Amino acid sequence: METNYDAIVVGTGISGGWAAKELCEKGLKTLVLERGPMVKHVEDYPTMNNDPWDYKTGDVITQETKKTQGKQSRTGYTTTESNKHFFVDDVKHPYNETNRFDWMRGYHVGGRSLMWGRQSYRLTDFDFTANLQDGIAVDWPIRYKDLAPWYNHVEEFIGVSGENVGLPQFPDGNYLKAMEMNCVEDVLKSSMSEKYDDRILTMGRTAHITEGSKPGLGRSNCQYRNRCMRGCPFGAYFSSNSSTLPTAEATGNMTLRANSVVHEVIYDADTKRATGVRVIDAETKEVYEFNAKVIFLCASAIPTTSILMQSKSERFPNGMGNDSGELGHNIMDHHLGVGASGRFEGFEDKYYTGRRPNGVYIPRFRNIGGNTNRKDFTRGYGYQGGASRGNWSDSIAEMAYGAAFKEAVTTPGDWRMGLGGFGEILPYHDNKMTLDYENLDQWGLPTVTFDATIKENELNMRKDMQQQAAEMLENAGFKDVRGYDGDYAIGLGIHEMGSARMGRDRKTSVLNANNQLHDVPNVYVTDGAAMTSAGNVNPSLTYMALTARAANHAVEELKKMNI
């Protein structure tokens, strides 16, 4: 069995797939290790065409499911019958909560790139300079101009549908044709452009092909089935499985080994370099070592940091690269579950075709200078939302039951629209993960203990998020507008990040401006662990861009023999 490679990539999700593609395309013989089982594009999407009536009690979360996926079910939607197989068994993959932490995972080839929400936005200099300006945590060691060409690079390859609006807090990009708003969303858009000069409504930017095709395993146009999380037979949305992994494989330079649990990076104190990784086979429990000149940790934030923490040596008694003591700290997410909804009277003779796998979006309008700056909270939030014709309407209620009621039930209900906020969580040192060596998993590895909560800045922000959503809907003429602020705990945004942050100073950060460990330059971390602040936008596009940029850097460094 071959054990020596030019590069090792740990993980095959959003960032791992990109590391594999970039490194293989640049000629490196790359071993890609995934802890979970193989999932082949289309072949291994068993539920992709199922209708709700293909399930005994519909496509819902059952009590039976909650027995093994109790924590995964906290989202209320990810563990329905058609999706649950792509989320982990909580009994097999336990973790500990000092404070409630909702940790949603997909352990298989493709990771969460198979089930993600596909919303794709860029960070901006409002985000990159935020810590510096607020005197919070540490400054990002990069700025927007460093990442902009890489955002272009990844958007071009994967295909992102959306529109350019020319706002500094919502940068223009390479977008495929935007999806259409429906009649009621158009009403809100017009109302906002009339009544507000500081915010707009636009279409969501989503990693779907809406024209042409993109590279991979035959990726073609979205068919508007909105069954994305199950895997798409058209490859219409971006996943590692349909896009980056096949591209890596086509180079002939990739070796993909599934069922491989990486638990340690091996360090050579003489060369001051990592030399490889230790692996436990997920099924047989046999142990292996693989060697490489460069290692990319892309296992997703928490597992990547776990691997670094487990990589102890005389030089690194507290985990590899942890001289700063920041490893495991500064965990963030986006807080959500707050906003408003209302009913719209009108357009009873209008409808829509296609199940749009995307919503509308309101870019950040708070704390971006001048009058937008608030005293009650720093940072910002955006909204995702949409209008639809639901099940119930006043006329149905009047029919009560019987033949006329039955007839009414077969017609579209009232128009309702909702706006749900996604808010930035500050990097708090105290929001952390540790490893519990008293509670080991079935591979003999320590389980993760989370201790992280949102605090005053987030709570104050949530009040504004709810109030503003309600106000915008009311101003547009929606009726029965109701705000909501639901049950949020860190992790529920499924954007858990931080724990091995980038920074300028090795005394206060884990990674440098190139995503290398400050102290072990041939180890790169390019998944969510790297994030120095969370911004308020969905982070996956940023992970892709960071990964492509870092892979480019790694290859250059190898050529120069710096690593």
Partner 1 sequence: MDRRKALRNIGSGIGAIAITPTVVSLFQSCQTAVTYTPVFIPAEDFGIVSNLMELIIPKTDIPGAIELKLPEFADAYIDAVWDKERQDNFVDAWKAFKEAGTSAAGKTNASELSGTDWDAQLAKYLKPGNDVPAGEEDAAKFAGQLRNLTVNAFKTNEFIGENVLAYAPVPGQQKGCVDLMETTGGKAWSL
Q: Where are the alpha helices (DSSP H) in 171-280?
A: 183-195, 245-250
Q: How far apart are CA 151 and CA 387, in angstroms?
A: 30
Q: How far apart are CA 22 and CA 28, in angstroms?
A: 9
For strands 254-257 and 30-33, give the pairing: parallel
Q: Is 178 in the site for partner 1 (CB under 8 A)?
A: no
Single out the residue of 403, 438, 560, 561 in contact with partner 1 (rule: CB under 8 A): 403
Nearest approach in angstroms of CB 413 to partner 1 is: 7
Nearest approach in angstroms of CB 301 to partner 1 is: 32
Count of beta carbons in the 10 Å neighbourhood of residue 449: 18
Q: How many residues line the site for partner 1 (CB under 8 A)?
A: 54
Count of beta carbons in the 10 Å neighbourhood of residue 407: 11
Q: Is 192 in the site for partner 1 (CB under 8 A)?
A: no
Which residues, 293 to 352, sit near partner 1 by CB under 8 A?
347-352
Single out the residue of 85, 134, 165, 224 in contact with partner 1 (rule: CB under 8 A): 224
Q: How far apart are CA 482 and CA 88, in angstroms?
A: 35
Q: Is 268 in the site for partner 1 (CB under 8 A)?
A: no
Nearer to partner 1, 416 or 462 (CB): 416
Place of tokens 């289309």: 42
Q: Is 49 in the site for partner 1 (CB under 8 A)?
A: yes
Nearest approach in angstroms of CB 202 to partner 1 is: 14
Q: Is 213 in the site for partner 1 (CB under 8 A)?
A: no
SS3 at position 19? helix
Q: Is 168 in the site for partner 1 (CB under 8 A)?
A: no
Q: Which of 430, 479, 196 is nearest to 328 (CA)?
A: 430
Nearer to partner 1, 391 or 562 (CB): 391
21 within 8 A of 244, measured Cβ to Cβ: yes
Tokens of residue 71, six digits: 């924590």
Q: Is 67 in the site for partner 1 (CB under 8 A)?
A: no
Place of tokens 């292996």: 288
Q: Is 163 in the site for partner 1 (CB under 8 A)?
A: no
Single out the residue of 57, 271, 284, 371 in contact with partner 1 (rule: CB under 8 A): 57
Tokens of residue 516, six digits: 């290398």
Q: Is 180 in the site for partner 1 (CB under 8 A)?
A: yes
**Can you give the length of the chain in residues?**
563
Nearest approach in angstroms of CB 200 to partner 1 is: 17
Find the part of the chain contacting partner 1 (CB under 8 A) among 45-53, 142-150, 304-312, 445-453. 45-53
Nearer to partner 1, 371 or 410 (CB): 410
Q: Is 185 in the site for partner 1 (CB under 8 A)?
A: yes
Q: How far apart are CA 90 and CA 271, in angstroms?
A: 40
Nearest approach in angstroms of CB 346 to partner 1 is: 11
Q: Is 271 in the site for partner 1 (CB under 8 A)?
A: no
Question: Which amino acid is present at 93?
Answer: H
Q: Is 90 in the site for partner 1 (CB under 8 A)?
A: no
Q: Is 399 in the site for partner 1 (CB under 8 A)?
A: yes
Q: Which of 15, 240, 22, 222 is nearest to 115 (CA)?
A: 240
Find the part of the chain contacting partner 1 (CB under 8 A) among 49-57, 239-247, 311-319, 366-374. 49-57
| DSSP structure class, residue 369 | S
Q: Is 68 in the site for partner 1 (CB under 8 A)?
A: no
Nearer to partner 1, 80 or 304 (CB): 80
CB neighbour list of residue 415: distance below 8 Å, 6 or more residues apart: 183, 184, 343, 344, 345, 346, 347, 387, 388, 389
Nearer to partner 1, 198 or 345 (CB): 345
Nearer to partner 1, 12 or 82 (CB): 82
Nearest approach in angstroms of CB 398 to partner 1 is: 6
Q: Is 270 in the site for partner 1 (CB under 8 A)?
A: no
Q: Is 559 exposed, middle or buried (0-12, 13-18, 19+ CB in 10 A)?
A: exposed
Nearer to partner 1, 288 or 347 (CB): 347
Q: Is 356 in the site for partner 1 (CB under 8 A)?
A: yes
Q: Is 375 exposed, middle or buried (0-12, 13-18, 19+ CB in 10 A)?
A: exposed
- Sign of dihedral through CA atoms 135, 140, 143, 148? negative
Which residues, 405 to 444, sit near partner 1 by CB under 8 A?
405-413
State the helix-helix crossing angle for 144-158 and 540-559, rounded to 10 degrees: 100
Q: Is 225 in the site for partner 1 (CB under 8 A)?
A: yes
Q: Is 394 in the site for partner 1 (CB under 8 A)?
A: yes
Single out the residue of 176, 181, 188, 531 in contact with partner 1 (rule: CB under 8 A): 181
Q: Is 389 in the site for partner 1 (CB under 8 A)?
A: yes
Run of H or E residues at 388: strand 381-389
Nearest approach in angstroms of CB 182 to partner 1 is: 4
For strands 520-525 and 287-297, give the pairing: parallel
Nearer to partner 1, 224 or 484 (CB): 224
Find the part of the chain contacting partner 1 (CB under 8 A) among 150-158, 377-385, 400-408, 483-491. 400-408
**Phi and psi angles of residue 345, each rounded to the nearest 5 degrees, phi first:** -95, 125
The residues that touch partner 1, with contacts defined as CB under 8 A, are 49, 51-53, 56-58, 60-64, 179-183, 185-186, 222-225, 347-356, 389, 391, 394-395, 397-413
